[in-house]
Each structure stands twice: as structure tokens, then as C-alpha cells.
Structure 1
């Protein structure tokens, strides 16, 4: 035991020295070539301001409000059989999953963190839900990639379906073959869902969902004005953190592709580090076939980049979610997305009219800027579309949950 204590300080010193040396080398690289670094920062800032910020801010605020008003608990009652049977997670996790699929990362992790802080989820369950709900924003896939970069909106829908399907398949695969880690937390017994299940099991599922939502809202107790202010503040802080990650990894990607990793394709480095930059790089690169390009793009979306992974992990520190488990989930999601895209592209392309190449051979120019700018002008329709996706997912999962619940009896 004393030996372990003697080792920990030395290992901490080495990690500190390595991180410090890496940061010093990065500063030297930026100082030696400030113009490319400035251009990379400017492009990343435009990407964050024109796309990420308007696509995420309204939905993050709405998610905070809906959780406080009990929607998460009501939806959890509706989706309880699905979450327990397929993913072996509490029913309240259904709202976290829908949030991640609708708003993208790090909204799923933020929802899981909020429910954990409210005492509605155990630490282990919240961490696994954050990994399960780590999806790319649908607006990024449909509008930015499908329409703006690939110029074929139908491909955006294919990528989105593959992205969702492969993510759910990876989560089911892990729960099917993986060994769940034992939880040291106390069983949560104060949730509205457990109260409804134990005291009002004879009532209809819709009444139980409404009761769960009402009880959760009473426990929250915040007025609408206070809730709105706190929701906006927390959402803006989350997006500022997201913007900082995007800027940092944009500079890091430019430095790595210019110096030590210049022999590798640019999309490989950006694909590992930052998904928005990776999507632009992959869409502007020439591949041997359209199938390979879309498969690589789909795999990159599933991997999401180290930047997005750190954003979600930073919100889940209290739950003890390990990067090891999170990366296994991301790697498995990426593998399934790559394979499914290859299997589906030829049948889907055969059904479409014509066979126009999906990839671009030149970098994104003024046309892409106009596309990103339309995010602001079309913000009301974007919010409506995200709300529609959310409602459709709730309805689809509820139908599956009812089907599973009947067969369990």
C-alpha cells in the first residue's frame, strides 16, 4: 500500500511534464507559422458561430426546461420496457437517448448529467446513457453535410439513418456481450418513476406518465423565470466550451497536418480529432469510389472526434465514466456505421434517379458559406424540424416499448 502511494506522485509528475512539453511544442508551432494557425482559428470560429451555436442553443435550453417540467420522467415511464429490455437501463434514460439523437453531442451528456444531479439516475447508469446518447446533430448531417457539402440531400438522410441505427446497434451489442460493471451507488428510490410503479401500477400508462411528470416538476420547484435564466446560462456555457474545443482542435489539426503527420491524408487526422473539420475534409477529397467516401464519412461521424468525446466526458466527471468504455462504444459505433453504409449504398443508389457522384473535388467555397449562413435565417424552421424529429422518435420508441412490454407479459 505504501508502495502504491510512492508511485502515484512520480506518475503524476511524468504526465504533467508530457502535457506541458506538448503544449510548449504546440505554441512553438503556432508562433513559427502564425498565418495558417490564424486561418484555421477563423474557419473554426465561423463553423461554430454559423452552424453549431444556432443549431444547439435553442434545443439545449428547451431540454433543460422540459427536464425541470417532468417530461424526462413521463417519457421514461412510456419507454421503460424498451430501455430495460434492450439496453438494461432505467426507463428515464429514454429521454436522454432521444435528446442525444435529436440535439446531438454534448446535449445527451448534459441531459444525463442534469438527471444525475437531480438524483434521478445512478452514476453508472448516467455514464452509460451519456455514451449511448452520443450522436451527431441531425442538422449537421442533413443540412451541412448532405446539402452543403455533398449537394445531395437524400444522402444526408441515408447517413442519418445509418448513424442512428449503428449507434443503437453498438449499444445493444455492448450490453449483450459485455459484462456490466458492479455499481457501488445506492439504489435510487426517490424517483417519480419508482413511486408510480410501486403505488399506481394499476393505472394506465399515460396516467402514470402524467403523474411522474407532475411529481418531478414539484420536486424541482423552480419558477419559470428562474428556470429560464439558469437554462440559458448553462446552455451558453456548454456552447462556449464546445467552441473552445473546436478552436483548439482546429489549430492542433492544422499543426499536425503541416509538420509531423503531413504524409497522412488530412481527413484522417481531422477525422480522429474534430468531426466538423473532418466532414469538410472528407467531402472535398477524391476517393476511389463514392461508396468508400460515404463509408469513411459515416465512420467519422460515428467516431465523432476526440474533441466531441472530451466535451461529453467533461460533463460526466461526477459519474466516473471512463474514457476507455466511451472509446470502445465510439469505435464499435464507427465500425458498424462503416459496414452498414457499404451494404446499403448500392441498393439505395440503385433506387435513386441518376448516379451523380456524391463527392466534391474542390474545397468548400462561397457556396458553403451561404449554406451555413442560412442556419440563422432558417432558425425557426430548424427548431420546428428538430421538434418534429423529437416527437417522431418518442412515438417510434413508445410503439416499440409497448410491443416489448406486451411480449414480456
Structure 2
């Protein structure tokens, strides 16, 4: 029997087993469902919902097209994606999963990226947000804000390396235009090639806004409606995986997985007591990161941090299910994303061990930090304001880097008397 034919019976058997466990452990089932619902309402809804709406509005106003034109000189040679992918990267890195996938799907719907470009883009723009990494993981779980430096270097540095590796994914052909629409270039007339990049960026923004054509009220209504549908899907998946993990724990399945992973960790030189964190992180990122921070005191801190970096970069099957549900409406494939997450996780763990002495050994003492005042990040006003500030800083840095790269390329061509491509 083929794998495809086996899929349906296995799924039905799994669901039947899950329902049986729900009847055997009704108290644990209800408690875990309420816990997952609380995480969604208190954490994810206020954290993600505003960014879902903001990203939809920015697409409607053409701001993505503006930054797409500005970031083309940086994104195309580095990652083989159009400049609009730079906006997705900035929004994804400051907002966390699954913003990058949602925006990538929107770019695909507007024909601003091809399938290969979209798969490259979603592979390296799906990451933990810095508020969660600093407030929840470093301070809340590790009780050490200095850990944020090594985790951020490994997690975001690994994401950058994944972006460079993913440029070899797909067919070797020209990328789509950074402004998105194929008619955007002609909208500015024959003199566009001689105009400044800033002028072309605003022209692309204006053209996109005219093509959209929706009024402010209609745009806001559709943004709220679309974002609400997605956040409900996210919430349902969070509750499902919360129940799923708790029932597996009650049934003793998780202990068996811990024992299997113990032998593998021992073989590669990692403390076997980290198996609980890694198995938990396989399914849900928050559970795994908490277990890594609270692992036995006998486990060296660098190995705890490496486990946390692995878990943050993998994202957990709960996040993977969210991404798969978003990609389902497009022709973008899930498997390239999954392989990129696995490679990112391995790279991040390796970077923690590689950079531990250079970063943590010479680092100045951290300023006083009260964990009770740390925003775990998720939806308080301060956390939202911090995300906006991070986004502005990151997009400004990327724009300056793109402008500098374009200037250097122009200078090199003029110095060597080479025509512009």
C-alpha cells in the first residue's frame, strides 16, 4: 500500500486515539484546553492581531511597493527575492511567526513573487520576535537577560544564513520586480531609468494605491475581517496542540520519546537531561524554551542556551501547522519551509556553542533588570510600541544598506567603464 493510501487510515486512527485519551483524562484535557485558550487570548491575540491589520493596510496603501523599490539592490543579489521581500523580512523578524508567512502569501496573491521566491522568503522570515526572545526566554525562563545577546546572535544570524542558502533553491531565473506589478515600471514613463530610486519608489507606491482603488473604510473592514479569520485559525491550532501534548504526557508517550532522545543526545555529546526540552520544543516553542531554561543545574549554561536556540529556530509543530494553513491557499510548498527550519535550528545551536566564549566571555555586565517588570512580550502596550520601534530601526537600516550597495555598484561600474545591467 502506498504512503498516500496509508495517510487517511493513520490520520483516522490518530484522531480516534486522541478522542479516547480525552475520555480517559477529561480533567487534563479540559485544563490544557483552557491553558491554550488563555495563551491565545492573553498572548497571541493582542500581539499578532494589530500587526495582521497593519500589514494588510500597508499593502493596500502601496507602502510595501515603496520599500520594495528601495530594497531591490540589497535583496536581489543576496537572497534572489524582490525588494518587497525586505519589508516582509523586517515585519517578520520584529513580529514573530507567522507574520512572515502571511505577508509572503499576500505578495504571492498580488503576483509580486513567484513560487520559488515565495518559498525562499517564507523560509528565512519566519522567526521568533525579539520581545519574546528577550522578555520571555532570556528573562522569564533563564532569569538572565545577558542570554538574549547570544540567543539573538544565533537565532537571527542563523536566519540570515538560511536566507543566503535558500538563494540556491528553485530555478535560476530572474526575480520578479520589487514593486510587484509588471505595469508599475511603465507607469513612470520612459525616463524612469534615469530617475532617482526614491522617485521610482514613490511612483510605485502611487501606482499600487491607484490599482488597489479601495476606500479607507473598505480597506480597514477587509483587513480586520481577514486578520480575524487568521488569528482564529492560529488560536485553534494553539489549543489543539496544548491538548495534544498534555494527553500524550498523561498517556506516558512523552516519557518514551525522552528515553529515545536521551541516547541520541549522549551520542552527540549533549547532556541527556535536555531531552525533555527538545521533545517539548518539537511540538510547541514556549514549552520547549521554558524546559530548556529550567533544566537541571548540572547542565552547563551553553548547552541550555543551544537547546533554546534550536527550539526557537525550529518553531514547534504548532507554528508549522500555522504556516502550512497559510500556505495552503497558495502554490507555495511546505516541505522547503520544513527543511529550512530544521537546518536553521541546527545552525543556531551550533552558533551558540561557537560564539559563546567570544560573546559571553568578553561581554560587559548587563544593566540592572527586574524580571518582574519584564514584558514577556506579548501584547501589552509597551511590547507593541517596542515592536514598532524595532521595525522602524530595522527597515531604516536595510534601506540605508540597500542605498549604499546600489551606490557602490554604480561606482564600481563607472570606475571600470561597465554599462549598467
Q: TM-score, normalised by structure 1?
A: 0.86
The CA distance in 2 between the partners of 1:170 and 1:193, in whole Å, is 31
Aligned CA-pair RMSD: 2.8
Shift of 1:299: 0.8
Q: Within the alignment, does 1:292 sit opposite 2:303 as a pair? A: yes
2:254 alignment partner, one of 249, 255, 261? 261
The CA distance in 2 between the partners of 1:316 and 1:193, in whole Å, is 28
The CA distance in 2 between the partners of 1:124 and 1:300, in whole Å, is 26
Corresponding residue of 2:391:
390
The CA distance in 1 between the partners of 2:188 and 2:304, in whole Å, is 49
Aligned pairs for 1:141-160 within 5 A: 141-160=133-152
1:344 alignment partner, one of 344, 355, 360? 355
Is the 8 Å Cα contact of residues 25 and 247 (structure 2) preserved in structure 1?
A: no
Aligned pairs for 1:4-403 within 5 A: 12-175=4-167, 178-181=168-171, 190=182, 192=184, 200-258=192-250, 259-263=252-256, 264=258, 265-286=275-296, 288-352=299-363, 375=378, 378-379=380-381, 381-403=382-404
Shift of 1:198: 6.9
Is the 8 Å Cα contact of residues 55 and 139 (structure 1) preserved in structure 2?
A: no
Shift of 1:66: 0.9
Is the 8 Å Cα contact of residues 126 and 319 (structure 1) preserved in structure 2?
A: no
Q: CA 1:179–1:354 in structure 2 vs 1: closer, same or farther (change >3 Å)?
A: closer
Q: CA 1:186–1:172 in structure 2 vs 1: closer, same or farther (change >3 Å)?
A: closer
Q: Deviations over 1:327-351 (max 9, x none)?
A: 1111111111111111223333333
Shift of 1:270: 1.7
The CA distance in 1 between the partners of 2:154 and 2:223, in whole Å, is 32
Is the 8 Å Cα contact of residues 146 and 153 (structure 1) preserved in structure 2?
A: yes
Is the 8 Å Cα contact of residues 45 and 247 (structure 1) preserved in structure 2?
A: yes
Shift of 1:354: 6.3
Q: TM-score, normalised by structure 2?
A: 0.83
**Structure 1: any 5+ residue segments left out of the alignment?**
1-6, 356-366
**Structure 2: any 5+ residue segments left out of the alignment?**
259-274, 411-421
Shift of 1:182: 6.9
Shift of 1:136: 1.4
Is the 8 Å Cα contact of residues 30 and 255 (structure 1) preserved in structure 2?
A: yes
Matched position secondary structure for 2:28: helix
Shift of 1:145: 1.5
Shift of 1:406: 3.1
The CA distance in 1 between the partners of 2:374 and 2:26, in whole Å, is 28
Is the 8 Å Cα contact of residues 187 and 207 (structure 2) preserved in structure 1?
A: no
Which stretch of structure 1 is more off in the superposition, 150-159 or 322-331? 150-159
Which stretch of structure 1 is more off in the superposition, 292-301 or 157-166? 157-166
The CA distance in 1 between the partners of 2:318 and 2:253, in whole Å, is 20
Q: Deviations over 1:378-405 (max 9, x none)?
A: 31x2222111111111122122222332
Q: CA 1:29–1:193 in structure 2 vs 1: closer, same or farther (change >3 Å)?
A: farther
Shift of 1:71: 1.0
The CA distance in 2 between the partners of 1:50 and 1:373, in whole Å, is 11
Q: CA 1:151–1:194 in structure 2 vs 1: closer, same or farther (change >3 Å)?
A: farther
Q: Deviations over 1:118-153 (max 9, x none)?
A: 232223322321222111122211222222222233
Q: CA 1:255–1:93 in structure 2 vs 1: closer, same or farther (change >3 Å)?
A: same
Is the 8 Å Cα contact of residues 313 and 321 (structure 1) preserved in structure 2?
A: no
